[in-house]
Amino acid sequence: MRTWHEIRGFPLAIRLLLINQLGVNTGFYLLIPYLATHLGDNLGMSAAVVGIVLGVRNLSQQGLFLIGGSAADRLGARGVIIAGCAIRTVGFALFALGDGLPVLLAASVLSGVAGALFNPAVRTYLAQEAGERRAEAFALFNVFATTGALVGPLLGSALLLVDFRASALTAAGIFALLTVAQALVLPARDVPPATGSVTSDWREAVGNRAFLAFALAMVGMFTLENQLYLLLPAGARQATGWDGAAGLVFLVGTVAGIAFQLRITRALKGRGTRGRWIAAGLVLMGLAFVPPMLVAGTDTPPHGALDATLRALPVLLGALLLHLGVMTAQPFVMELIPAFGRQALTGTYFGIFYAVSGIAAAVGNAAVGRAMDIAGRGGAAALLPWGCCLAAGLASAAGVTWLHRSGTLPRTRPAPVAVAA
């Protein structure tokens, strides 16, 4: 109930962006997780071609975040958000309507470009509209995003009972509705005229050593957050011998987010500095990979439901700790990013930050995946991927702590806790 009152206390624009993120993640996760299976099993494409189609989408998105951020600064975040959702509508519809490789590649490119546009633009608009309540706004944003990431795969699994095209058309329909809603409801804001070129904006942001150091220090957060889709589900399946155990990892996060995200952010916001809580969240994220070590490398199948449940508990505890760490750090990370530079370059800073995070996630997933391959040999090697994640979390926490103590991080004034309308 308190969360609902907090939502009502925000302007209509922010409430729409929260619903928008719920819809974005629902539409994305009801389609993309099943795309590889559709391409390989239904269309008979080789693994190499499947990899190309998926890689094109990732490259289009991660490589163009900076373009999306600059567009939000110069054209206005509202228009870029609407354009991004409209483009993804077309991209997802193409997945349903086309079977040929050229059409599928076009769909992948459009879907990636759409994400590169609206991801930094949404965060730019949110940061500008929320003012001193940025932390709470991004906390709620996280709740809606996590909920969509759970609802999407569940809805996608149900739609696959019909066929893949039903999933793709449903996802396209969701983005079409979001496009219309934003065009009708999202208020337009005046955009100050640009004083220099786009490349000068990029040089200014990239030349901000404090910001770049912070972005690099946060590499661990995005690497570990991605293990919610790689290492932890695999660990849950291996420990219990049940494929459905992977879904419990997402369920734990969604329930925890709804119950605790806003409470955590509100409790920490007026106590201590942002750098302190970001570092604490990263430590918690790293420690999340300690409990699953208890069942890592389990080869024998569980003896009944009770044994499977007991084996699942360490992995689910790890998932809970990881989500709690994200809930502690992420709202304050999002709050700090605009404080590194001029308000007119908020989108550019978000774009660069997410480009760095995308590269980090790709490299981190590759490293963890390699560690998982080695862990398959059994013995002490089974602990390797979990130990790597622990080290990544602690290293990032150390980096943020050093930046905080050296006075490199911008100082945000502790804002009074807002009273819900």
Q: What per-residue string of b and e applies to 195-210 under the rule 16 or more CB within 10 Å gives b? A: eeeeeebbeebeebee
How confident is the model at residue 2, as a pLDDT?
A: 65
Q: What per-residue string of b and e applies to 98-110 under the rule 16 or more CB within 10 Å gives b? A: eeeeeebbbbbbb
d(CA 94, CA 53): 13
Q: Give the chain's end-to-end CA distance (angstroms, integer).
A: 13
d(CA 4, CA 416): 19
With contact defined as beta carbons under 8 Å apart, do 57 and 112 qualify? Answer: yes
Q: Burial of 306 by CB count in 10 Å (0-12 exposed, 13-18 middle, 19+ buried)?
A: exposed
How confident is the model at residue 418, as a pLDDT?
A: 34
Rounded to the nearest angstrom, the gap between the alpha carbon of residue 219 and the centroid of all alpha carbons in its chain is 13
For residue 337, report the phi and psi dihedrals to the nearest 5 degrees: -55, -50
How confident is the model at residue 335, as a pLDDT?
A: 94
With contact defined as beta carbons under 8 Å apart, do 355 and 65 qualify? Answer: yes
The token duo for 147 is: 């909920």
Q: Burial of 257 by CB count in 10 Å (0-12 exposed, 13-18 middle, 19+ buried)?
A: buried
User: Helix axis angle, 304-336 relative to 245-269, nearest 10°?
Assistant: 40
Please spell the DSSP secondary structure of 151-183, one letter per residue.
HHHHHHHHHTTT-HHHHHHHHHHHHHHHHHHHH
The DSSP call for residue 398 is H
How confident is the model at residue 3, as a pLDDT?
A: 66
Q: Considering only CA atoms, which of 197, 219, 196, 203 is closest in space to residue 355?
A: 219
d(CA 236, CA 308): 10
How confident is the model at residue 99, as a pLDDT?
A: 84
pLDDT string in tens for the chain (421-residue length): 566 777 888 888 999 999 999 999 999 989 988 887 788 888 888 877 887 887 788 778 877 899 999 999 999 999 999 999 999 999 999 999 888 889 999 999 999 999 999 999 999 999 988 888 899 999 999 999 989 988 998 898 889 888 899 999 999 999 999 999 999 989 888 787 777 789 999 999 999 999 999 999 999 998 999 888 789 988 888 888 887 787 888 889 888 998 899 999 999 988 888 999 999 999 999 999 999 999 987 777 788 888 888 999 999 999 999 999 999 999 999 999 999 999 899 999 999 998 888 788 778 878 888 898 898 887 888 999 999 999 999 999 999 999 999 999 997 644 333 333 2
- pTM, two decimals, is 0.88
- Residue 292's Cβ-side half-sphere holds a number of Cα atoms within 13 Å equal to 36
d(CA 274, CA 333): 8
For residue 417, report the phi and psi dihedrals to the nearest 5 degrees: -65, 125
Q: Considering only CA atoms, which of 54, 43, 27, 57 is closest in space to residue 159?
A: 27
The token duo for 58 is: 């990732």
The token duo for 354 is: 């997410």
With contact defined as beta carbons under 8 Å apart, do 110 and 244 qualify? Answer: no
d(CA 57, CA 66): 16
